[in-house]
Amino acid sequence: MKLFLIPTGKKKPFSDSLLRDLSTKTGAKISRNAEGDLQLEGEGGSEWFAEQVLTALVLGFEYKWGKKNRIEQMKGRIIGTEGKAKATLEYLSDCWMSISDDKVALLGRYEDLKTVKAGVLKLLEGKSHGTVYAFLEKKKADK
């Protein structure tokens, strides 16, 4: 269990419905104590994730989750037509990739993982596939 202290002036924006929604989406149980601070309870990863989202909210970020359609578009950029982009990324990086609902898993040697991660992030940022492939080819040639 972890106690999340909220600065005095920031306690009002944390409505009960927001906390319920956040609890559902992160998998951590979130409850409010008598002082208005929050108690987080859950497995390590879910508790940590809830804490990160709450910290962002305290800092002034808006509470909204990525739209399902946008996530599908991002997956599509990584996978490509009939898996061609994914296969090319795997070939150029000497890593294996698995793409699920909203996660990308990478398996390979440490240096190769750093390279393919950078490539995937470039794709998600909107860089063209050709630019990313050129980046990966250069890194592969430098090995």
Interval 40-83: pLDDT, tens? 888 878 888 888 888 888 887 777 666 667 788 899 999 999 99
Domain with CATH 3.30.1370.10 in the chain: 2-58, 68-142
Q: What is the distance, to the nearest Å, from the Cα of residue 61 to the centroid of all Cα atoms in its chain? A: 16
Q: What is the distance, to the nearest Å, from the Cα of residue 50 to the centroid of all Cα atoms in its chain? A: 13
**Is the model's pLDDT at 116 over the cut of 90?**
yes
- Which one is the CATH code of 68-142: 3.30.300.30, 3.30.1370.10, 3.40.50.170, 3.60.9.10? 3.30.1370.10
Alpha-carbon torsion, ordered 94, 96, 101, 102, to 10 deg: -40
Q: Closest by alpha carbon to 1, among 50, 35, 34?
A: 50
pTM above 0.85, yes or no: no
